[in-house]
Amino acid sequence: MNREKILGPVGSAENDDRSLRPQRMSEMVGQREVFERLEIAVQAARQREEPLGHILFDGPPGLGKTTFATCIPHELGVPIEMTSGAALRAPKDLIPYLTNIQDRAILFIDEIHRIPANVEEYLYTAMEDFRIDLVLGDGLNARTINMTIKPFTLIGATTRAGMLTGPLRDRFQMREHLDFYSVEELTQIIKGNAKILQMEIDDESANEIAIRSRSTPRIANNRLRCVRDYVTARADGKIDPDVTRAALLKWEIDTLGLDKMDRKYLETLIGVFHGGPAGVEAIAHTINTASDTLIDEVEPFLLRTAMVVRTPRGRVATQRAFDHMGMSGKPVDIDDESVGDDQDTLFT
Ligand code: ADP
C-alpha cells in the first residue's frame, strides 16, 4: 500500500512526529498485553481471510493509539482511511468513507467520542451488517436505498471512553486501554528515535529525557527534539548528560517533567491560595488562562503524580508539591471535614 498515505514524506521537518511513528507492531515498545492480543487477532483474521473485528483504543494522548491503528493495516496488508470525530458532523461526511472502503480495509476514526448521535447511529448498521441507507434525490422524489458495503474494520481512538454511548462501545469486538510507559520503555523509545534522527545518544542522557517525559512517548519525542535543537545550535552536535540537562533547563522542563505552566499552576495554588482548596476557575483567572486548558492539559499530570488532589471544595496542593516547588507553608489537611464537605461543587 501507499506508505506516504499514512506516513507523509518521511524525514521532512514538519513530519518528524510521523517519521518517528513505528510502522510495524514489532517496532513498538511496551503495551505487551495489548500487543499480544492484537497479534493473535491479526493472525486469525489473516488466516481466515476475514476482516479483523472492530477495535477501540482508549487512553490519554500520546500513548500510541494512532500508532497501533496505523501499524495494523501494515500487518494485514490492507489500506487505511483516516478521519476524526470532529470532522464527521453528519452522516453525509461519513458516506464517502464507507462507500469507497476496500475489502477488509481499515477505517480509523480518531477522537471518536466527538461524533454526533446521528453519525453514531449511522455507523451501527455499517459496523454490524456492512450495510448503509442512502437517500437519493430530494423532496417528493427522495427515496432510500439500502446499500451493501465492503466488509471493513473500524478502529476508533478516544481519550474519553466514558463519553461513548453503550451501544457504540458494544459494537467494538476488542476494547484496549493503553497505559503509561515505564522509564525503561521510554529510554528504549528515545534511543531508537535518536537513531532515526541520526543523533548519537548515551544511556544516561536517554534516561534523563525519559524521566522528564511524563511516562508518555509523544512527550519523550518532543523533549528529544528540544535536546537535538540545543545540541545543534549550542553544542558540538553530540548529546551528553550535561548538555541534555542544560537543554531541558533552557526549555524550563524540570527534574520531574513539569513545565512552565505546571509550575505556574502550583505557584499560584500554593502562593496565592495558600495550598487550597481553590476552584479551578479561580486558579485560571489568576494565571490568566482558560480553565479548560488547566483541566485538560495541566491537571491530569499533577493529579497523577499526587502533587494536587481534587476535593469537593476545590484543588489542594500536597506536601509533595510544596517540597518540589521549595515553597514554605503546610498543605491543608484533606481529611478535615470542612475541606471534604460536599457543599460547593461550584469550586471544582
Ligand atoms: P495517540 O494516538 O495515543 O495520541 P500516537 O500513536 O500518535 O498517540 O503516539 C505519538 C508518538 O509517540 C508516535 O508518533 C510515536 O513516535 C510514539 N509512540 C507511541 N507509542 C509508541 C510505542 N508503543 N513505541 C514506540 N513509539 C511510540
- Domain containing residue 80: CATH number: 3.40.50.300
| Confidence (pLDDT) at 311 | 93
Share of the chain above pLDDT 90, in %: 78
Q: Which domain holds residue 295?
A: 260-340
Ligand 1: residues within 6 Å at CB? 17, 20-22, 28-31, 61-67, 157, 189, 217-218, 221
Residue carrying C-alpha cell 496565592: 272
Tell me: do 168 and 47 sit in the same domain: yes
Q: How confident is the model at residue 330 (pLDDT cuts 50, 70, 90)?
A: confident
- Range 187-213 average pLDDT: 95
What is the distance between the alpha carbons of residues 258 and 214, in angstroms, rounded to a whole number? 8
What is the distance between the alpha carbons of residues 223 and 34, in angstroms, rounded to a whole number? 26
Tell me: do 111 and 221 sit in the same domain: no
- Domain containing residue 289: CATH number: 1.10.10.10
**Site to substitute for ligand 1 among 35, 67, 195, most atoms within 8 A of C-beta:** 67
Residue carrying C-alpha cell 453528519: 90
Helix, strand and coil content of the chain, in percent to the nearest 5, comes to: 55, 15, 35
275 and 316 Cβ atoms separated by less than 8 Å: yes
Residue carrying C-alpha cell 549550542: 234
Tell me: do 231 and 264 sit in the same domain: no
- Closest Cα to atom 20 of ligand 1: 64
Tell me: do 237 and 319 sit in the same domain: no
155 and 57 Cβ atoms separated by less than 8 Å: yes
Residue 103 lies in a domain: yes
Residue-wise pLDDT for 238-247, tens only, equals 899 999 999 9
Residue 78 lies in a domain: yes
Order of strands across the sheet that contains 55-58:
80-84, 106-110, 153-158, 55-58, 174-177
Number of domains in the chain: 3
| 204, 226, 250 - which closes a domain | 250
| Confidence (pLDDT) at 259 | 94
Residue 314 lies in a domain: yes
150 and 102 Cβ atoms separated by less than 8 Å: yes
Tell me: do 17 and 115 sit in the same domain: yes
| Confidence (pLDDT) at 99 | 93
Distance 225 CA to ligand 1 centre (A): 15
Residues recognised as catalytic: 65-66, 110, 159, 218
Residue-wise pLDDT for 249-292, tens only, equals 999 999 999 999 999 999 999 999 999 899 999 999 999 999 99
Tell me: do 166 and 205 sit in the same domain: no
Residue 345 lies in a domain: no
Tell me: do 33 and 139 sit in the same domain: yes
- Domain containing residue 223: CATH number: 1.10.8.60
Tell me: do 125 and 74 sit in the same domain: yes
